[in-house]
Every structure is written in structure tokens, then in C-alpha cells.
Amino acid sequence: MVSRSEWQGAKSAYDIYMDEQGIPVVEGWSVRDVRSIGLKPWRRLGGNGAFIQLYGQEYITGMYVVEIPPGSALNIEQHMYEEQYYILEGNGTTEVWTPDGKPQRFGWGRDALFAIPLNAPHRLINNSVEPVLALASTNAPIMMDHFHNPSFIFDCDFKFTDRYSGAPDHFGVNENFEMKPGQNGRAAGVNWETNIIPSIRTAPMGFDEYKGGDFHIGRFQMSDNVLVGHYMQWSGGQYMKAHAHGGGAVLMGLEGKGYTLIWPQQAGIRPYENGNDDQVVRADWTDGTLFSPGSGWYHQHCATSPEDIRIVAFRYGTPKYGVGFHRAASGAAGPRVSIRLGGSLVDFDMEDPKIRADFKLELAKNGATYKMPADDQLDNMPII
């Protein structure tokens, strides 16, 4: 992975767009605290902003953080890329114009998550006495790079009425939950189709037995987008199985702390044993940390604090709409299925022994209890 300054080829349309905005561009494998990023006035959008372009996003997705001063609003905009917002701080209102030109409004507070309908005019309003800080996840890079025509991206008048008709309850909190069946009668996570989640910290989830431990997950589908996400929780003192999938995903810590190991598939499922230590990236995280694994890169989330862990992910991979490039990097059977069966999930008995040894040392440093299965109770299958 290289930074924007190291790239020697032609600039992408998204790079040109970011340069023209005159606000900072933050790079790297991770951002320790998104709330502490330095911001500058953003003339086009309004407020103060900064772009976030992590290596693992690979220009498949983009991110920015924007601050809206008290009593102010962002400028009205529309665009031919998908966008979802997570409210880091503050409360306010979003105004969206329906296909027949009428304004529709909905309110939100801290930890709310919502999606803007594709190409619908909209703006965020801070109607409080404190600043609003919002994190936006988009697929602007891939759309801008394909069309390299700003007028098409920002000035097209096509209305996606199949996604947004202006129905009065479009931004209501619905209960359209799908409980995915798992083994032994237990639900393997929740799929929630809604256009707003009032608080990601209290959103419902179900048990997911595939990643190991007491892993729980909820997935969300908003505004009929292909850019979706999930939120997950598990106990401190545990880590989940390594897995790989398509690029563009960005994860953010919400509660607890830990670290994620990220390494390319060519380093092997046992990178340390193979002498590829230098190819393993470690991203330490806590509340507000952003990190992103690359396309097809293995990654393994390790919780080192005594309390439960909660993380939210912004990504591709909706069960409603297939996305070919994301599926292609996940193995034929996907990231929740063992590589023994055609997926990209590394069973515990197949993983590099150093991963568990290092995890035990980290727990000791943090005063957390080790809660992984005993070594003789792992999957216990032959290495392939």
C-alpha cells in the first residue's frame, strides 16, 4: 500500500476532487481518534471538514468528517454516490427533498446512523447550542473515478424513485428485522432494513456462531444501497477467527479496546511461522478509532479490555444486492465459512500459534481474563 504522495501515475478523479476542496486528507492504516482530526473550513459543503482515505479503502470507498457549528447548516447538495452518516457528537436535523420537491425532515442525536437516498438533495442542520460532528461513509471514489465528470456527479437531475419516493414514513424507525438461522436453533445475527438507527450502541443483534466465542452481530441495509454495514459485540478476553473479504470496509471502535491484525493472503494463514512478520499490520483501537483491512487481506479482531467490545463497520456486502468484486475476494462461500469449505475463515486450529500467545500477553498487560477455548478444545482438524 502506498500513500497519495508516493503514487507516480495520473491522479484519480477523486484525488483531484479532494485536492480542490482545500481541506486535510488523512491517510494510513488507521486513525487513532476520529474526533481529534484537524479540520479546516469547507467552502463547497459548509462547516469544517477533513477527508479520511485509509489504505484498506483502496479508493473503493471514501470517508470524511464534518463539523457543523451551533445554529448552522451544511449547504444543500446532491450526488450520484451513496452516502451514510454516523453522528459522533451533537444532535440536529436532516432535510431531504422528495422527488416532487417537498422538504422532508427527521431528527437525530449522538450515535445515530442514517443513509441519504441516492442523488436526493439534502443538508444537515445543527439546531443546538453545541457543535455537531458527523462521519460520512461514501462510495464517491469509485463513482468519480469511473465517470471523471463532476457535473454528472453533482448536477444530474435523475430521480431514483425506486429508492426514495418521498413516503412519509421513509425515515421512520421500522422493525423490519430478519433473524438469520444458525445451528442448534440459534439465530446467526440480525439483518435490519431501515433508513435510520437512533443509536448504534443499543441496536439489536443476534448470536453469530461462525466467528467463534460469544460473537454477536447486527447488519443494516439502508436506502436500498449497496454500501451497508454491521455492528458487533463480544466479550473482552476473546478474539474472533481471521477472515478476508472485499475491500473498502472501514471499522470504528465504539466500546472497549483491543487491536486488529491485518495481513495479505500471500503471507499465508500463518504469517509469523512463514517468516512474514513484516507484512502484518497491527491497528490498536478504542472508542473513535478507524481502521481498514485491504481487499482480500486477512484480519483478526482481538479484544483486550475486561469489558465487552462493540465495533461498527461501514462496508459493501449486502445480502439484498450482490456486489461482484466484494464477493470475489471473500472465497466462493464467503467470509463466514471455513477456508476448508471454500470460504475465507481461518479456523482456530489453523491459525498461527503466535497469535494466541501474543494475545495472552496483551491480556496480562490489561488485567483482562483469558476467555478463549482451551487449546485442546479447538476445531482440531488437520492443517491444509
How confident is residue 375, by pLDDT bands cut at 50, 70 and 90?
low
The predicted structure's pLDDT at residue 28: 96
Q: Does domain 187-370 have CATH number 2.40.50.140?
A: no
For residue range 165-178, what is the model confidence (pLDDT) as tens digits? 999 999 988 777 67
The predicted structure's pLDDT at residue 233: 94
Phi and psi torsions of 75, nearest 5° = -70, 150
Q: Please tell me if the domain spanning 13-155 has the same topology as the one spanning 187-370.
A: yes
The predicted structure's pLDDT at residue 377: 53
The predicted structure's pLDDT at residue 322: 79
Q: Residue 323: is it exposed, middle or buried by C-beta count within 10 angstroms (0-12/13-18/19+)?
A: middle
How confident is residue 2, by pLDDT bands cut at 50, 70 and 90?
confident
Instruction: Kindly state the average pLDDT of the residues 62-81.
Output: 98
Query: If you search the block for the grid coordinates 481474563, which residue do you land on?
Result: 369
How confident is residue 8, by pLDDT bands cut at 50, 70 and 90?
confident
Instruction: Kindly state the average pLDDT of the residues 130-140.
Output: 98
For residue range 190-217, what is the model confidence (pLDDT) as tens digits? 888 999 999 999 998 888 766 777 888 9
Is a pLDDT exceeding 70 seen at residue 382?
no
Comparing 44-48, 116-120, 179-183, 353-357, the range with the smallest average pLDDT is 179-183
In the chain, domain spans: 13-155, 187-370
The predicted structure's pLDDT at residue 182: 54
The predicted structure's pLDDT at residue 11: 92
For residue range 303-361, what is the model confidence (pLDDT) as tens digits? 999 999 999 999 998 878 878 777 776 666 677 788 888 888 999 999 999 999 999 99
For the chain, the average pLDDT equals 91
Alpha-carbon distance values, 302 to 231, 253, 256 (Å): 15, 12, 11
The predicted structure's pLDDT at residue 15: 97
Q: Determine the angle formed by the axes of helices 13-21 and 140-147, rounding to 10 degrees.
A: 110
Phi and psi torsions of 334, nearest 5° = 100, 170
Is a pLDDT exceeding 70 seen at residue 147?
yes
According to CATH, the topology of domain 13-155 is Jelly Rolls (2.60.120)
Q: Name which residue leads in pLDDT, 322 or 134.
A: 134
Choose among 135, 169, 347: nearest CA to 252.
Answer: 135
